[in-house]
Amino acid sequence: MSTPLDDVTVLTLAGEIDLDTSAHVRQALEAVGAHGTRVVIDLRRVTFIDSSGINVFIAGHRALAEVGGRLCLAAPSESVARTLEIVGIDTLIDICPTLGEALDK
């Protein structure tokens, strides 16, 4: 689900982001990021992420940066945050502990 706000679009995800679902996430991210906007992905209800999901985030980050946009990941659960940290995505993409902080950024 995507929710456009003033200068940011929030893409809310739920469940597992894996090989079976990453294509849907990629399509949603491409649709909301096509306008060079700022995109916040709300991860509060995501329970698992694998490398295919991480690759979608990296590709989305790069695509947005090319058109003057920006990607931020918000409110990952402890296990998802740990996975993101282990692979080092936090050095490439902003990760905020809450949705509110991501929207303020």
Task: Dump pLDDT digits (tens) for 27-85.
Answer: 999 888 766 689 999 999 999 999 999 999 999 999 999 888 899 999 999 999 999 99
pLDDT at 40: 95
Domains and CATH numbers, the chain: 2-104 (3.30.750.24)
C-alpha span between 2 and 5 (Å, rounded): 10
Helix (H), strand (E) counts: the chain: 4, 5
Q: Is the pLDDT of residue 6 over 80?
A: no
For residue 47, give the H/E element and its range: strand 38-49
Reported as a single tens digit per residue, the pLDDT across 80-103 is 999 999 999 999 999 999 999 999
Contact 54, 84 (CB under 8 A): yes
